């Protein structure tokens, strides 16, 4: 706050700084659940090889809708590396010129399926069973 107000004064301007401490932020932070992180590392390591799993990335100051889900239920946000091997085709994620390495997509699908099935097998005893009639017809 001091730097901003001081720099404004140097430029013969006024500045007001409000960190909105009294208000809830528009987007909450995305914070991965610790148990789901362990599950992810185990499943991804077994499926892809632990040397292909980057378990540490630098924090990013960006808004993500997924954070709203994590306010209600435990969640885990991960990314799939699809960067093209060619440096001249590397563009930012939101660039219209982005070219991804589509060879990674089957690995991402397999990883998601493996995560879902492993989670259900591991935690299915925690899911309440509902007795009801089912109808197999469309």
In a domain, residue 64? The reply is yes
Q: What is the tally of structural domains in the chain?
A: 1
Residue 21 has which token pair? Answer: 């401490």
2 domain residue, yes or no: no
Count other C-beta atoms under 10 Å from residue 131's C-beta.
Answer: 4
Residue 108 lies in a domain: yes
The whole domain housing 81 covers 22-126
**pLDDT tens column, 81-100:** 887 767 666 677 788 888 88
Any domain includes 16: no
Q: Do 100 and 82 contact (CB within 8 A), yes or no?
A: yes
Distance CA 34, CA 49 (A): 21
What pTM does this model have?
A: 0.68
32-41 pLDDT per residue, tens:
999 999 999 9
What CATH number has the domain bearing residue 31? 3.40.630.10
Compute the distance between CA of residue 94 and CA of residue 82 in angstroms, rounded to an integer: 14
Contact indicator for 36, 76 with CB cutoff of 8 Å: yes
């Amino acid at each position: 706050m001091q730097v901003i107000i001081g720099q404004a004064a140097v430029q013969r301007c006024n500045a007001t700084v409000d960190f909105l401490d009294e208000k809830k932020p528009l987007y909450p932070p995305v914070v991965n659940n610790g148990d789901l992180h362990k599950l992810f590392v185990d499943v991804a390591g077994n499926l892809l090889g632990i040397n292909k799993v980057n378990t540490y990335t630098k924090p990013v100051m960006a808004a993500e809708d997924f954070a709203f889900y994590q306010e209600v239920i435990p969640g885990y946000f991960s990314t799939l590396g699809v960067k093209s091997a060619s440096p001249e085709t590397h563009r930012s994620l939101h660039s219209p010129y982005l070219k991804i390495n589509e060879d990674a997509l089957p690995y991402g699908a397999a990883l998601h399926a493996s995560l879902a099935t492993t989670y259900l097998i591991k935690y299915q005893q925690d899911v309440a069973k509902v007795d009801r009639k089912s109808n197999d017809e469309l």
